[in-house]
Structure 1
Amino acid sequence: MSPANAAMQDETDTEPTSGNWSWWPSWRPTSMSLLKSAEAKILACIQNNVWSRFVTLPNQNRIWTLKVTNKTALKYKDQADQTPLVMIHGFGGGVGLWIRNLDALSNSRPVYVFDLLGFGRSSRPSFPSDSSLAEEQFVSSIEQWRQSLGLERMILLGHSLGGYLATSYTIQYPERVSHLILVDAWGFPERPQPQSQESGGQGSQLKRVSPPRWVKALASVFSLFNPLAVIRAAGPWGPGLVNRFRPDFKRKFEDLFDDDTMTQYIYHCNAQSPSGEVGFKAMSESLGWAKRPMVQRVNLLPPSTPVSMLYGSLSWVDSSTGNTVIQIRGKSPTSVTLIEDASHHVYADQPEEFNRVVENICNTVD
């Protein structure tokens, strides 16, 4: 890891400040140190070896990073030859959401997870309002992160927004990605044009699952504000709001935590000053659609790069997009897997099946 030494900073370093928002904490019960504490409680569940650091990019932005390796491996070199798995979280998420997956997936190879630029504990710079420039800022930060760690090649997995960015990254840096795994990826389909009444029987092609209540709730304020502004505007009521709108997060992890640990983590991830959220809004037509749909660009992926697409059978993301990608890529290796009884957060709803599928995919690489 010698190339990385210069870029490493210990997690005890001073936390980044919130810039112009320094007057907010008296109203909003959050801070980077509270986020750090909530995350620490979650990460204490990991059984394997965890290495955690801020990775400092050339522009001085910092990316909060975990590397998880097998505790029982006799020597580090047992895993050193394995292609690492790098996982990118979705909108409003952070490294803590992978808690049900890190141990299982790190048994056979190193696993890296990080908070995307502008999310979680990573730096929160300003993002441009132009969709392509915002996307480029995310993607270039991922590439600078990879360079700082000295990773030559990786199996790249992205969930939701992370899947969109992982695809964009692979198009730009194809030589760095051995296999692309997309989990309920956001931003792929083109927004359907309103159909006239005469279209008749085409209704059967619509997604059978309507968006959950919280998606509709966020969509209603989306056009006026950053998508999570309501959580910040709620001030001291913010944590209760997260509990009310996302009770499923408590349920998904209830075997690990019998309290509000996960919803507190989600709250502290998203009650900080908006940054990545601004970048996401720049790339979004509305909450469910991208201004630059990825389906228009998947043909730019190298034909030799395998792509595996995973969907939750109960998700609001339409899995038929995966079949569209298969058609576009022709003879290129592309697969679609539906995970039963899983919603959008496939990795948390059905962790054993998710881990099994992902491990099998990784084993096809080495």
Structure 2
Amino acid sequence: MSNPVPSFSLDLPDERHPLALEVDPPSASSSTSSLLPPSGSIPRSVASSIQTWWKHSSENGMATAEERLLNRLPSFIASKSTSDPTPTHANPNPLVSRVFDTTIQLYSETSSPSPSSSSSTPPPSPKTKSPASTSENIHGVEFYTAGIDGTKATTGGTVNVILHGYGAALAFFSENLEEFGEICSLGKRRGFALDWLGMGLSSRPSPKVFETPAGVKDETVEARVARAENFFVDSLEAWRVAGGFEKLVLIGHSLGGYLSIAYQLRFPSRVEQLLLISPAGIPTHPQPAPASAAAAELSPTPNSAASSAASSIKDGRNGDAPKPAFKKADAAAAPSYKKAVFEWAWEKGWSPFAAIRSLGPLAPRVATVYTTNRFRALSEDKVQDMYAYIYSMLRLKGSGEYCISSILAPGAVARLPMAARMDDIKIPVLFLFGEKDWMDPKGGYEACERMKLNGNENVETIIVEEAGHHVYLDNPTKFNAILRRALLKDVRD
């Protein structure tokens, strides 16, 4: 979510436990939206907020909310007992999408990164691993084609994978998933959209993994970042191994883009292509995100600074890098003491979602403000369904969300910027930024120039008009066209 107002009277350890009933998965018989309970009205007053908070239960939990959104996809089949559609002469390979859960094994490392390391790049996890392991669950939706010569039975090979950002989950891409499935079908590949470990409907391990290990003093930035990155990178690799896939095309948004790069740096032979949608943590000399970033992101029209920047280049393919869509003065808007308290809380492992959960009965109203602004372009009934999805996600116990202060410094500035770590990447890399994006697009241009200097000419930065940070949602038509062009080399938008 975009910069929620923090509460600094948090007892962070206590906030790392659920505040709601456990979410039960929807019944397998709920194969159509008509069989699901309605999402209910969005609370627009304090009284209705209290009522929503009090009545929240598994009935309108996240799994049910996800199913409501996915049921809008023509290819989606909710019930495991429902067979794939029968191939016809006109459609010999019908597209199918289904939710799935993959059990993965995560192994305990025999050693941790040295706290004395001075490298600017986090060291990879040691190859030697102890026998101790834990089973976790990765949740997602898969796309395949049925029938003879379909991709359902395809093993190995390359698959396309969508990875959401911070404070989100796979159904945020509900406006793009059907097109994504069709693109995968045309490319004769299987497609997946995943919930990161510790987020969405994937397992939510204890967030203590992000804390400095006992007995370690003066931990280096490299070690802190490596521990957080490896939490996600190791789980994605375990999912790849469990599925038997040879290579991945990673399509990551925001934090998901950052982590997609981190995965490629750890497992370069396993990534065929990177498509980075407004990725976090790229520029080597970043400007902290301004206090007005949230307001700019929720604005219904592009601001003038961003519009002029976007108009100076056609689709971001030529010309100089655009100026950031915010003013330096915004960063100093908050009083210094508030900034100091915020930075203290951030360094101590504060989570914005813990802050919202701490509001108790008022938390539904915070979710309302975000949802009704962020998804204003959607129909009323879909906004209602998105609200149920977001609020249900908010009520789940904190886990992966606590990574943020390990990876980013206050102001959404990367502790170890990715542009300086991408020099040796040789695969195709595409950066997408919205013309009113609060992520600085100069990071994309910088990374592309550095990779070109090292011999990789297959890199590009594109500015998408009429879009903010959630490019895929703000301008799904343009985004889907770019996605098609990137994943199907012989198709141009």
Q: TM-score, normalised by structure 2?
A: 0.61
Note the alpha carbon deviations across 1:305-357, whole angstroms, 9 max, x for none: 11011111111111121110111102301111111010000001111110110
Counterpart position of 2:406: 282
Counterpart position of 1:296: 420
Question: Map of 1:27-38 to 2, 5 A cutoff?
Answer: 34-38=61-65
Are 2:72 and 1:45 aligned? Answer: yes
Higher relative helix content = 1
Deviation at 1:258, TM superposition (A): 4.8
Counterpart position of 2:246: 152
Which of residues 234, 257, 260 in structure 1 aligns to 2:384? 260
Question: Map of 1:121-270 to 2, 5 A cutoff?
Answer: 121-125=201-205, 126=207, 127-129=209-211, 130-192=224-286, 207-209=324-326, 221=342, 223-224=344-345, 225-254=350-379, 257-270=381-394
CA distance in 1, matches of 2:153, 2:431: 26
Note the alpha carbon deviations across 1:4-46, whole angstroms, 9 max, x for none: xxxxxxxxxxxxxx99735655995556661111111111111
Partner SS for 1:268: helix
CA distance in 1, matches of 2:247, 2:482: 21
CA distance in 1, matches of 2:477, 2:287: 38
Partner SS for 2:272: strand
Change in CA separation of 1:223 and 1:38 when aligned onto 2, cut-off 3 Å: farther
Change in CA separation of 1:258 and 1:19 when aligned onto 2, cut-off 3 Å: closer
Are 2:65 and 2:389, in contact at CA under 8 Å, matched by a contact in 1?
yes
Deviation at 1:80, TM superposition (A): 4.4
Letter in 1 for 2:98: W
Deviation at 1:237, TM superposition (A): 2.0
Letter in 2 for 1:136: N
Are 1:153 and 1:177, in contact at CA under 8 Å, matched by a contact in 2?
yes
Deviation at 1:79, TM superposition (A): 9.4
Deviation at 1:84, TM superposition (A): 2.3
Counterpart position of 2:109: none
Counterpart position of 1:321: 443
CA distance in 1, matches of 2:145, 2:72: 14
Aligned residues: 333
Are 2:282 and 2:444, in contact at CA under 8 Å, matched by a contact in 1?
no
Partner SS for 1:299: coil
CA distance in 2, matches of 1:295, 1:31: 44
User: 127-136 or 242-251: which moved more?
Assistant: 242-251
CA distance in 1, matches of 2:247, 2:196: 19
Counterpart position of 2:195: 115
Are 2:145 and 2:152, in contact at CA under 8 Å, matched by a contact in 1?
no
Deviation at 1:365, TM superposition (A): 8.7
Letter in 2 for 1:310: L
Are 2:38 and 1:21 aligned? Answer: no
CA distance in 2, matches of 1:155, 1:317: 23
Are 1:56 and 1:63, in contact at CA under 8 Å, matched by a contact in 2?
yes
Greater C-alpha radius of gyration: 2
Partner SS for 1:228: helix
Are 2:141 and 2:194, in contact at CA under 8 Å, matched by a contact in 1?
yes
Are 2:286 and 2:413, in contact at CA under 8 Å, matched by a contact in 1?
no
Letter in 2 for 1:56: T
Note the alpha carbon deviations across 1:81-130, whole angstroms, 9 max, x for none: 98421010000111111111111111132220111011111111123232
Deviation at 1:270, TM superposition (A): 2.6
Partner SS for 2:172: helix
Deviation at 1:165, TM superposition (A): 0.3
Are 1:164 and 1:294, in contact at CA under 8 Å, matched by a contact in 2?
yes
CA distance in 2, matches of 1:259, 1:354: 20
Letter in 1 for 2:379: E
CA distance in 2, matches of 1:252, 1:44: 19
Counterpart position of 2:126: none
Counterpart position of 2:78: none
Partner SS for 1:21: coil
Are 1:115 and 1:122, in contact at CA under 8 Å, matched by a contact in 2?
yes
CA distance in 2, matches of 1:358, 1:317: 20
Change in CA separation of 1:22 and 1:137 when aligned onto 2, cut-off 3 Å: closer
Which of residues 54, 62, 65 in structure 1 aligns to 2:137? 62
Percent identity between matched residues is: 26
Which of residues 333, 341, 360 in structure 1 aligns to 2:466? 341
Are 1:309 and 1:335, in contact at CA under 8 Å, matched by a contact in 2?
yes
Letter in 1 for 2:193: V
Partner SS for 1:87: strand
Deviation at 1:131, TM superposition (A): 2.2
Change in CA separation of 1:241 and 1:210 when aligned onto 2, cut-off 3 Å: farther
Q: TM-score, normalised by structure 1?
A: 0.81
CA distance in 1, matches of 2:170, 2:58: 14
Letter in 2 for 1:151: F
Change in CA separation of 1:42 and 1:328 when aligned onto 2, cut-off 3 Å: same
Deviation at 1:208, TM superposition (A): 2.5
